[in-house]
Amino acid sequence: MNTDPASTCDNNSTPKPKPTPSATQAAPERMTREDVITWPAADRLRWFSSLTYPHPNLLRTVEHLHELMEPGNDIKVIALIGPTGIGKTTLIDKCLHSLVQRFAPVRLPHEVPVAMVSAPANGERSLSWRTMYRRMQTACGGVLLDQQRKAEVTNDELTAVRADRIGLAQRREFLEAEVRHRRVRLLGIDESHHLLRFGASDAMMDTLKSLADIQAETKLMLVGTYQIAPLLTTYGQLARRSAILHYKRYHLSAQPKDDSPTEDEAAFREVLKNVEEDWPCEEVPNLQAAWQFVMRASLGSVGLMKMQVTQLAALQLAHKSERVRKQDVRRAFKPPKMLDQIEAEMVDGEESLRGACYGEADLDDPGVAALWTPKRGQRRA
Radius of gyration for the chain, computed over Cα atoms and rounded to the nearest angstrom: 25
Q: Is 173 exposed, middle or buried (0-12, 13-18, 19+ CB in 10 A)?
A: middle
Q: How far does Cα 206 stand from its chain's mean position?
A: 24
Q: Is 205 helix (H, G, I), strand (E, B) or coil?
A: helix
Q: Indicate if the pLDDT at residue 200 is higher than 80.
A: no
Return the top range by mean pLDDT from 22-36, 176-190, 217-231, 297-311.
Answer: 297-311
List the one residue out of 44, 357, 78, 321 whose CA is nearest residue 223: 78
The residue among 209 and 284 whose pLDDT is bigger is: 284
**301-341 pLDDT, tens per residue?**
999 999 999 999 999 999 999 999 999 999 999 999 999 99
Q: Is 233 helix (H, G, I), strand (E, B) or coil?
A: helix
Q: Is 114 helix (H, G, I), strand (E, B) or coil?
A: strand
Provide mean pLDDT across the span 220-237: 84
Per the DSSP assignment, residues forming a β-bridge with 115 are 187
Q: Is 317 helix (H, G, I), strand (E, B) or coil?
A: helix
- Using CA atoms in the order 286, 289, 292, 293, what is the torsion angle rounded to 10 degrees? -40
Q: What is the pLDDT of residue 375?
A: 77
Q: Are 205 and 173 in contact (CB under 8 A)?
A: no
Q: Are 308 and 332 in contact (CB under 8 A)?
A: yes
The pair phi, psi for residue 77, each rounded to 5°, is -125, 125
Q: How far does Cα 131 stand from its chain's mean position?
A: 22
- What CA–CA distance (Å, rounded) separates 218 from 180? 9
Q: Are 253 and 32 in contact (CB under 8 A)?
A: no
- What CA–CA distance (Å, rounded) separates 213 from 205? 12
